[in-house]
Structures are given as structure tokens and as C-alpha cells.
Amino acid sequence: LPARFDWRDKAVVSPVQNQQACGSCWAFSVVGAMQSVHAIEGSTLERLSVQQVLDCSYKNEGCNGGSTLQALDWLKQTRVKLVLESEYSYKAKTGICHYFSQSHGGVALKNFTAHDFGGQEKAMMGQLVECGPLVALVDAVSWQDYLGGIIQHHCSSHWSNHAVLVVGYDTTGDIPYWIVQNSWGTSWGNEGYVYIKIGDSVCGIADSVAAVFL
């Protein structure tokens, strides 16, 4: 594994989004992973519709919250094609599901994996390099006050409440860390990103990790 790896260097990670006052982190992380993997496979990096997942993934609760694995399961079972953000734009409110014809262009999920990488974060690094950005669940209670730097304390594992996108890692310095894209806008954290120490599943970053396949 390379000592440092960041999918942003390959221009396959969309800019940081802002979920606003809507509990849609689960949808942002899933759509973020699909956008990136689509670009890694040779397509142009395009923003896909988070609102479509929010409105249509019926086992989840839209802005009231949801599960990344339920959303991925819904995408896999229904083979729904995610349309472009410009065709189904984000409203930060749950709405009625808009349907598109089968002939309408979009990106469908073929499969996904979900694993607990607790104690095996090196294997998680391997999966990141091999598969693309990863959907992860974290405990983000202390992130209310986060300004920047590498989180090493004040974060529990096994108490996840927030979904994020892991886009890289860096092990070249004294403290190895994950590079994680959040969906709270660019004014939060390190221009919208948070760094989490690798090892001990800090914030539960390795507890529930999903990779997508298109």
C-alpha cells in the first residue's frame, strides 16, 4: 500500500456539499461513493441526485434519517438509476419520489460490500485503494465543535450516528490519519474534511464500512 493515498488527487471526488438542516448524511455518503466510483471507471465526474435517494429510498426516513446499508440495498434491489443532480436537485426537505423512465440515463448500483474493519484498518486502506471512496458510519457528537487537525480523542466506537465518505489516508507523519469528506459545507473543519487517526477505530470509522460496485 502507498504511504499516502487520496482519491482527490485523481480528480474523482466531488466538492464538499452542505446537507443543511436535513438529516441526509446517509444519502450524501452513498451518492458520494457512487459518483466517485463512476468517475474511477472512466466517466466524467458528475454530481448525482441526493434528493432522489432521499425521496425514493422508502425504507429510510428522508430528512429524518436513514441507514446507508438500507439505501445501498434499495439501490441494488431496485436497480434504480441515479439521475444527475441538475435533473433532481437537492431541496434539504423530503419530497415525493420522482420516477424516470428506464431509458433515462443514470448510474445504477450493481453490488456493495459492508464490513467491520475494527482491528484491521490496514485492510480497510487496501479496500479504499482497490475499490474507491468508502461509505463509513461514525460517532460525530464531538464534531459539533471541530475546527481542524487529527481527531484522536473524544470519539467513541460502536455508537455511530453519522455517515461520511472516506476518500484517502496519510501515514507519512507522526500520526497516521484517514481523510474523510463530510457534508456540512466547506466552512466546517478542514474545508469540509475531517482527519481521523488510523488505529483503534477512532470515532468508529472502521466499524461499518461499505464499498460500492457499479
Partner 1 sequence: SFRELFHRRYDVNSEEFNRRHLYFQDTMKRHKYLNSFSAAPHSAKYGINQFSDLSQKEFRELYLRASTARAPSFSGLKTEG
Active site (catalytic) residues: 25, 162, 182
In this complex, which beta carbon is closest to partner 1, that of residue 55 or of residue 207?
Answer: 207
Distance CA 142, CA 154 (A): 6
Asked if residue 148 binds partner 1 (CB under 8 A), the reply is yes
How near is the Cβ of 32 to partner 1 at its closest, in Å? 14
Q: β-pairing, 177-181 with 193-197?
A: antiparallel
Asked if residue 17 binds partner 1 (CB under 8 A), the reply is no
Cβ 199 vs Cβ 96: under 8 Å: no
How near is the Cβ of 109 to partner 1 at its closest, in Å? 16
Asked if residue 181 binds partner 1 (CB under 8 A), the reply is no
Cβ 191 vs Cβ 182: under 8 Å: no
Asked if residue 174 binds partner 1 (CB under 8 A), the reply is yes
CA distances from 34 to 21, 170, 189, 197, 200 (A): 23, 23, 24, 25, 27
Asked if residue 19 binds partner 1 (CB under 8 A), the reply is yes
Asked if residue 207 binds partner 1 (CB under 8 A), the reply is yes
List all residues 6 or more positions away from 59 whose beta carbon is below 8 Å from its beta carbon: 66, 67, 70, 73, 74
Size of the site for partner 1 (CB under 8 A): 55
In this complex, which beta carbon is closest to partner 1, that of residue 88 or of residue 195?
Answer: 195
How near is the Cβ of 25 to partner 1 at its closest, in Å? 5
Residue 168 grid coordinates: 484517502
Binding mask 53-92 for partner 1 (x = CB under 8 A): ----------xxxxxxxx----------------------
Asked if residue 126 binds partner 1 (CB under 8 A), the reply is yes
Distance CA 129, CA 5 (A): 7
